[in-house]
Structure 1
Amino acid sequence: MPASPHSELLQAWSQCRTQRWRLPVWAQGDDAFLQGCWQWLQSQLQSTDRIFWLGDPWPTFNEQLQVRQIAGQARQQLLGQECDVLIIQATSGMDWDLVAASMGCLTAGGIWLLLTADAEIFSQQPNPAARRLLSYPTDAAQHVGRFQHWLASQWQQQPLVCWNHCGLDNRLMAPTAASTVAEFTTPYASHCQQLAVAAIHHVVSGHRHRPLVLSAHRGRGKSAALGLAAAQLQQAGKTKLIITAPQPAAAQVALEICQRRLGEDTPSLLQFWPVDRLLAEQPSADLLLIDEAAAIPAPQLQALTESYSRVVFATTEHGYEGTGRGFQLRFQQYLQQHRPGWRKLVLQQPIRYGRQDPLEQLIFRSFLLDDPDTSAVTSSTSALQSHRYSAMSLAEQPALLQQVFRLACLAHYQTSVRDLWALLDDPSLLVFTLQQEDIVVAVAVVSQEGQLPPQLLPDIYQGKRRVQGHLAAQSLIYHCLWPEAGTRQIWRVQRLIVRPDLQRQRLGRGLLNFISSEAGAAGVDLMATSFGATPALAGFWQSAGYVAVKLSTVPDQSSNEYSVLMLKQLNQSEATEIGALQQYFGQNLWQQADIIWSRLDPLLLQLWAKPVAEAWSCYDQQLLQLFMQGQRDWAQSSMTLKRWLNLHFQALPAQDATHWIPLCWQRQDLRLSVAELRTLSLQLRQTACLADLYQIQ
């Protein structure tokens, strides 16, 4: 007589507990069947079990159980939280970003129960939770995307337990010898963690300016390693220990571990400092620990690296946080250039659960969070071909989707499961690739925007309404005072990335040319792009024919960069309007450089600013000559020097521009003392560009 589904499930659960695995169960059926599954599971739980519930709540049949409802806004609060049972009630829609975030909360031996309709129905269901990522006018309550189709196709191939009306299908793979936990020494939870703590000690005792990067998937104990090392260093006599993180909660594990290791009678000297306060006050420290470093903007990490000689960065390079690839590509390149003695240690061994944990494999493969493919590409790029796809169609091409998404992740500082979800659900998205046969070497994700109903335009123009998506179109209507732009057909390049090993070969420019050609054939009026502005990026887009028309007034929190909107006209009918926008933007940028954009990179001002023309008088000529001869100081000559800069800023070498523009346009001299101004005057007189150009007639 065959075993019942309940007994089979208990057997699988027991096997997972033995291996310290989490058990993933996908229950499929109608509401009555699914509620029966939940009712049976309750009968197996204890009142001490910690239960998290995602999705619409059901009645709790067992009143002794404490079920915690997790809503979308609690996503960041899940960091560091733990549960024994995780229920995903996805019969009427689900926030898949939250699902991926919650995966790390489930502890070893726990059960992950996903409740959906039958697989075929689930694949074709609208998802109301997608309303935050679908561009107007797509209605999430009616639209059938391809993301749930992708998930269902993945889950039918992954190691999990399928539970439906027909019974139980256990697809869990038998454990191998490698899944057993390696030997380690107390107080460490793994051999990897022991190596990490030793490496932290070496940062303190070794040469200065040799930072350590601890990298790991979630659940590997990197935060605990920070706390253990801090406690040991305090016991060894180190008294100035600082930890920082993007949020206080992200440092809580390290702080608690440190205090627990020291004992109740010994106060911990490990102090938490917010990043902004740490940069402002710069207290001295024997060691600076930075947890979740990938979620801190690279410019702030660089500033901390310059301010402190002994630093440890702990970060998740893969996982739902999605910031790790940006950290690896941007900040680690900075370390390579400025701290060549830096070291990296990767913690491979899980602590919160066992090796080869099936739930971790399920989540990473389903949401494409595992390590990217590194297929080799021949050195010749002559055989490359350009392709255009509807983003939603990639759900039917898994190998292509994996390459596209993993490469697209490199183009943005923060990427999450939501980006993959949008790619497969939003019908407004297009994907363009350069491929060498089946290998993708460059990717662009393009959003189709504009062509809004005329009746919407007045409300958007007056700031009474915004619709989902259409970033460029609505910015042109509201910020640039161009309501007619909302009726135009606009393609906005969301992301553009070339494989790092093939960059600087004009492949990105070639892909942009292909996109422009496709856009022109489709009757598109404008190309647009928006990104965190740096001189290199802005120069690239400007050389591709894009002009800046708007800049944010505050830096982005994740990148610490100002966001710029750039346009490229595809027909002459827009030339007059875009030219006027560019002129107004450049003059406004110059006029308010010392008020709104005092922190902007001066090279961006040199690229975009358009000073109002001023006459150069005989008085200016005399004063400039007196300044050059050391007979007038900076304070007496500042307005003349500003007028000189207005005439010659475009001719300045970058090295000189980074001195002159902050002083004359951004008014950084307001923060200098009299002695500093005197020194500055001497330095400016020695500037080669001024000596060559001061003979103005």
Structure 2
Amino acid sequence: MIAALARDLKREAERANQRRLLVLAGDRDRGVDAAYDAIEAVDADEGDVSLVSTLEGFRFERLAPRGADDLLGRTREVVVLDCHDRFVPNALGRAAGAVDGGGLLMLVTPALDDWPDRRDGFDESLAVPPFTLGDVTGRFRERVVATIRTHPGVAVVDLDGAEGGSAGTGVAVERDGLTDPPAARPRSPPGRPATATFPESVYDACLTPDQSRAVRALESLATPGSATVVESDRGRGKSSAAGLAAGALALDGRDVLVTAPGFRNAAAVFARARGVVDAEGDGAGGRNPEEDRTVRAPGGGRVRFLPPAAAADLPGDPDCVVVDEAAALPVRLLERFLAAPAVAFCTTVHGYEGAGRGFSVRFRDRLAGSEFAVRDVRLDEPIRYARDDPVESWVARALLLDARPAVPEAVAGTTVDDVEYRSLSPADLLDDEVLLGEAFGLLVAAHYRTEPNDLARLLDAPNLVARALVVDDRVVAVALCAREGGLDPETRAGMYEGERVRGNMVPDVLTSQLRDEAAAEPRGIRTVRIAVHHALRGRGLGSRLLDRLHDEFATDVDYFSVGFGATPRLLRFWRRAGYRSVHLSTTRNDASGEHSAVMLRPVGDAGQALLDRHAGALRDRERDALSDAHRDVDADVVRGVLAACPAAAAVDLTPHEWRAVVAASFGPGMYDVAPGAFRDLAIATLLGETDDVDLDDREERLLVRKVLQGRPWGAVAEELEYVSTAACMRALGSAAEPLVERYGGDLALAERDRFSDR
């Protein structure tokens, strides 16, 4: 029965050039055996089959759920996802994205009626202390089961129809998944654009007008100073377009450097590049992309692969760079490719890669602000499978990959006086598809790290709470918050000794990194995500949402907190909301490319005590860290962190130091005589709410760059646009004058008067 059903699904998928989903529900061993039977029935090539499972010992390629990233950029005839031991939403998206037209995606699941009530390894990751596995709900799987039972093109087989039966005996087909679609229509070659410069054979290899437009845009890689962004959902041929362009550039003598999370992710790029070189260059491109990571063209051009970290150094001075699956790379790494003569970024829009939205949320602004002339092209028409593919629409529905905020017209003109504060309980979200889609769509659109796993966390994690502002039932702002702290002494002691405690980010930082064993005892609410509709930003909605959150939870917690990739704008926002700095990470976040800041807003005495001791520790750390681990932090980020730190700094200089500072400010002295004294004055000036020292922005940046970070005079003068190094030195002296007036005692003021009287 299973073999016959698999053959029917495969034949229909091949005829329509679509994919089909086969769900094998029931006992795990029977499910795996049934998957084997189905693979054999459709006569799939063993080298074109992948199994994502925690089990081992299969004759097919086996990937652990956490290793499903290896499917990025690859095409498979059959992918089997074992959902029993660890059902990871990200892995589902990656598995589906790898199945080619005419192929099958198989899910081996528990019995569908029982699945939402079962708990697995992924659920354990949601049971963050002090919550337990019993507190985790199964609403996400309930949602997945509902889509399995109702979506077209999904076949469901109940394997437990006969107790003790084997696959193929005593099973029941709940749904056959057959849709009787029309046969796929042959594609017509789009042709070569009149203004194109690449060979005609390159455009003859394009399968859709979208792909042809992408190749035409990628011709700009031949021109230094050009950047091209190619975006699409998976299966639209963006990697193939990049490969066609790379091969054509190599034929023209260019050195094309290609990078991706792994070489297998770039397999389509190299296959198409090799095809172009073979067609135009008499077979010069070689034959085995797995063994030969360089395609060489007759005229000396080449297409070569390097892993991202190595490629970012631009070894060999390539003429251009192609970054495939760009959204799966850290923003900090992407920034380094802006040093290339020309660069292309190819990225997936709806995040099957599960790597977040660092590219679209953070990196696109930096690319736009670069010196590159940027061209954008988007591919919408599927290539690896036909339009209306049921697997694509099912995965998008199950994982909300196409979740979007409310259309701007529906919320236009909204003000803070129009909105209603609303709790978004998991039950409400599960029951209201529009509410869930708009809330999750805001989180996806506004944050670089939202991924399919976060949908499961939103619906099932016991430590998370969601709140929103709505107008006429449309979501205009949303906050996702985590309960943290309140941990028992044993857990706190383990955290202090280096044990990782999931879901308690701020207590973990303050305890394990900053060595405060008592930090995990107070209870806190951390804002994990906050997003305002893009059409309504700047109208105070984010602040209103936080105000209501503070009012609701003020009696339940000791403090509110937030951790984020520090930018001047975000630091100002959170400072205005009453949050104060307690930590700045020494390394940059891989995804955001920024140093992470932690800020607290105390509620009761315990929260105030926590803030007081860590604000003081931050003040003491930064005096030294700014010339060491934080030497490269943006000056405005430093200003923002220090301005939001409420710890006061005593200025206790020796008579000699005061004479040196006054001489450098009002007389002929030099800064280098007493740099430590200047550092104490700079810290005191930039800390907290002090506003009685009248310095402009550039003067404060000068204190950061030269005095606190110890950068060379010439580099500081150039960055801050002083006409010369001497002018920069004089400016520091002038900036120190109000510091002397504010902090100097009788000795300093008398010394000042000596120079003033001259």
> Smaller-chain TM-score range?
0.7 to 0.9
In structure 1, the partner of 2:744 is none
Deviations 1:342-392 (A, max 9, x none): 221111222222222221111111111125244231313232101113346
In structure 2, the partner of 1:389 is 424
Structure 1 residues 603 and 672: alpha-carbon distance in aligned structure 2, compared to 1, 3 A threshold = closer
In structure 2, the partner of 1:357 is 389
Query: Do structure 1's residue 242 and structure 2's residue 242 form an aligned pair?
Result: no
In structure 1, the partner of 2:53 is 55
Structure 1 residues 133 and 633: alpha-carbon distance in aligned structure 2, compared to 1, 3 A threshold = same
Letter in 2 for 1:683: C
Are the aligned partners of 2:126 and 2:462 in contact in 1 as well (CA < 8 Å)?
Answer: no
Are the aligned partners of 1:452 and 1:487 in contact in 2 as well (CA < 8 Å)?
Answer: yes
Distance 2:248 2:106 in 1: 40
Letter in 1 for 2:566: A
1:300-449 mapped onto 2 (5 Å cutoff) = 300-302=333-335, 304-305=337-338, 307-323=339-355, 325-338=357-370, 341-370=373-402, 372-375=404-407, 376-381=410-415, 382-391=417-426, 393-449=428-484
Q: CA deviation at 1:639?
A: 5.2
Distance 2:41 2:550 in 1: 60
Aligned length: 683
Q: CA deviation at 1:172?
A: 4.7
Are the aligned partners of 1:83 and 1:107 in contact in 2 as well (CA < 8 Å)?
Answer: yes
In structure 1, the partner of 2:14 is 17
Alignment counterpart, residue 257 of structure 1, candidates 269, 272, 281: 272
In structure 2, the partner of 1:169 is 175
Q: CA deviation at 1:58?
A: 9.0
Are the aligned partners of 1:546 and 1:568 in contact in 2 as well (CA < 8 Å)?
Answer: yes
Q: CA deviation at 1:417?
A: 1.7
Q: CA deviation at 1:452?
A: 1.8
Structure 1 residues 641 and 17: alpha-carbon distance in aligned structure 2, compared to 1, 3 A threshold = same
Distance 1:318 1:335 in 2: 20
Are the aligned partners of 1:625 and 1:694 in contact in 2 as well (CA < 8 Å)?
Answer: no
In structure 1, the partner of 2:503 is 469
Query: Do structure 1's residue 211 and structure 2's residue 227 form an aligned pair?
Result: yes
Distance 2:734 2:423 in 1: 48
Q: CA deviation at 1:45?
A: 3.9
- Worse-matched range after superposition: 173-182 or 554-563: 173-182
Q: CA deviation at 1:576?
A: 3.4
Alignment counterpart, residue 107 of structure 2, candidates 101, 111, 114: 114
Alignment counterpart, residue 183 of structure 1, candidates 176, 181, 189: 189
Query: Do structure 1's residue 123 and structure 2's residue 157 form an aligned pair?
Result: no
Are the aligned partners of 2:74 and 2:264 in contact in 1 as well (CA < 8 Å)?
Answer: no
Q: What TM-score comes out, normalization by structure 1 length?
A: 0.87
Distance 2:702 2:469 in 1: 41
- Worse-matched range after superposition: 103-112 or 148-157: 103-112
Alignment counterpart, residue 607 of structure 1, candidates 619, 625, 640: 640
Q: CA deviation at 1:643?
A: 5.3
Query: Do structure 1's residue 229 and structure 2's residue 226 form an aligned pair?
Result: no
Deviations 1:563-622 (A, max 9, x none): 222111112443234222212212211222111211222223223346853456776677
Distance 2:334 2:29 in 1: 53
In structure 2, the partner of 1:136 is 129
Structure 1 residues 288 and 372: alpha-carbon distance in aligned structure 2, compared to 1, 3 A threshold = same
Letter in 2 for 1:424: L
In structure 2, the partner of 1:63 is none
Query: Do structure 1's residue 198 and structure 2's residue 216 form an aligned pair?
Result: yes
Deviations 1:457-482 (A, max 9, x none): 2222233x333222223333333444
Distance 1:572 1:113 in 2: 55
Structure 1 residues 660 and 41: alpha-carbon distance in aligned structure 2, compared to 1, 3 A threshold = same
Distance 1:9 1:450 in 2: 51
- Worse-matched range after superposition: 14-23 or 570-579: 570-579
Are the aligned partners of 1:231 and 1:259 in contact in 2 as well (CA < 8 Å)?
Answer: yes
- Worse-matched range after superposition: 632-641 or 81-90: 632-641
Deviations 1:152-204 (A, max 9, x none): 11222212122334435244545468876453453234332222111111343
In structure 1, the partner of 2:696 is 653
Query: Do structure 1's residue 149 and structure 2's residue 142 form an aligned pair?
Result: yes
Structure 2 residue ranges without an equivalent (≥5): 159-170, 191-202, 286-295, 688-692, 742-748, 750-758
Are the aligned partners of 1:192 and 1:348 in contact in 2 as well (CA < 8 Å)?
Answer: yes
In structure 2, the partner of 1:503 is 537
Alignment counterpart, residue 726 of structure 2, candidates 665, 668, 681: 681
In structure 2, the partner of 1:556 is 589
Alignment counterpart, residue 83 of structure 2, candidates 77, 86, 90: 90
Name the SS for the 1:351 alignment partner. coil
Structure 1 residues 218 and 481: alpha-carbon distance in aligned structure 2, compared to 1, 3 A threshold = same
Are the aligned partners of 1:556 and 1:563 in contact in 2 as well (CA < 8 Å)?
Answer: yes
- Worse-matched range after superposition: 134-143 or 526-535: 134-143
Structure 1 residues 418 and 628: alpha-carbon distance in aligned structure 2, compared to 1, 3 A threshold = same
- Worse-matched range after superposition: 338-347 or 395-404: 338-347
Structure 1 residue ranges without an equivalent (≥5): 61-65
Alignment counterpart, residue 236 of structure 2, candidates 220, 237, 244: 220
Structure 1 residues 58 and 278: alpha-carbon distance in aligned structure 2, compared to 1, 3 A threshold = closer
Q: CA deviation at 1:505?
A: 1.0
Q: CA deviation at 1:415?
A: 2.5
Distance 2:435 2:590 in 1: 32
Name the SS for the 2:249 alignment partner. helix
1:554-633 mapped onto 2 (5 Å cutoff) = 554-609=587-642, 612-615=649-652
Q: CA deviation at 1:422?
A: 1.6
Name the SS for the 1:162 alignment partner. strand
Query: Do structure 1's residue 78 and structure 2's residue 68 form an aligned pair?
Result: no
Structure 1 residues 689 and 608: alpha-carbon distance in aligned structure 2, compared to 1, 3 A threshold = farther
1:246-285 mapped onto 2 (5 Å cutoff) = 246-247=261-262, 249-263=264-278, 265=284, 267=296, 269-272=302-305, 284-285=317-318
Are the aligned partners of 1:200 and 1:212 in contact in 2 as well (CA < 8 Å)?
Answer: yes
Distance 2:559 2:426 in 1: 21
In structure 2, the partner of 1:100 is 93
Name the SS for the 2:360 alignment partner. helix
Distance 1:127 1:385 in 2: 37
Letter in 1 for 2:510: L
Structure 1 residues 137 and 633: alpha-carbon distance in aligned structure 2, compared to 1, 3 A threshold = closer
Indicate the percent of aligned positions where both proteins have the same amino acid: 24
Q: CA deviation at 1:279?
A: 5.5
Are the aligned partners of 1:634 and 1:680 in contact in 2 as well (CA < 8 Å)?
Answer: no
Structure 1 residues 441 and 173: alpha-carbon distance in aligned structure 2, compared to 1, 3 A threshold = farther
In structure 1, the partner of 2:196 is none
- Worse-matched range after superposition: 441-450 or 174-183: 174-183
Q: What TM-score comes out, normalization by structure 2 length?
A: 0.81
Distance 1:642 1:67 in 2: 63
Are the aligned partners of 2:705 and 2:716 in contact in 1 as well (CA < 8 Å)?
Answer: no
Structure 1 residues 291 and 163: alpha-carbon distance in aligned structure 2, compared to 1, 3 A threshold = same
Deviations 1:427-470 (A, max 9, x none): 1111000111221111111111222223322222233x333222
Structure 1 residues 467 and 554: alpha-carbon distance in aligned structure 2, compared to 1, 3 A threshold = same
